[in-house]
Amino acid sequence: MRRLFALALSALLVFGFAPVAKADVAGLTPCAESARFQQRASAATTDQAKARFEMYSQAVCGEDGLPHLIVDGRWDHAGEFMLPGLMFLYIAGCIGWAGREYLKATRGTKEQYTKEIQIDLPLALKSCIAAATWPIAAFGELTSGKLLESDDKITVSPR
């Protein structure tokens, strides 16, 4: 009897006794199917707002009708967070690398401290243009050993 009950329960579970669960991300629905989002989109008056709502209809919305970002690493949501995040890292790296190159270029000159306050524009522009390839330059300096400093040259506060 126990085996028959286990077999019947297994058959019911396998063949759909339990309803199929559709779980995308935290109860979010496609914005094109969200009634609250459609209400917001119908209130758009300008062409720019209508185009924005058309673009956001591809995203997923919460109960509030607002689009939500999905940052769980899925490639179908890469355009929402990963690609802008990588662009942010690239631009921040360009800014940092340009500043680093500018300070390296002014180091050891007679006007070193003055050039930190009053920017030498031609040198700064040259540093900014050279910073566009900072990932390649950083990898080259890392493999050659110029990027990192040895531990004996780094000062540590005595405690």
Q: For the chain, which residues make up each domain, given as ranges?
A: 23-68, 82-143
Element (H, E) at 2: helix 2-14
pLDDT value of position 23: 46
Alpha carbon separation from 5 to 12, 13, 15, 45 (Å, rounded): 11, 12, 15, 62
Please name the CATH architecture into which domain 82-143 falls: Orthogonal Bundle (1.10)
DSSP string, 125-144: HHHHHHGGGHHHHHHHHHHH
Per-residue pLDDT for 90 more than 90? yes
| Per-residue pLDDT band at 58 (split at 50, 70, 90) | confident
Question: Is there a contact between 31 and 60 (Cβ–Cβ < 8 Å)?
Answer: yes
pLDDT score at 6: 72
HEC letters along 69-97 = CCCCCCHHHCCCCHHHHHHHHHHHHHHHH
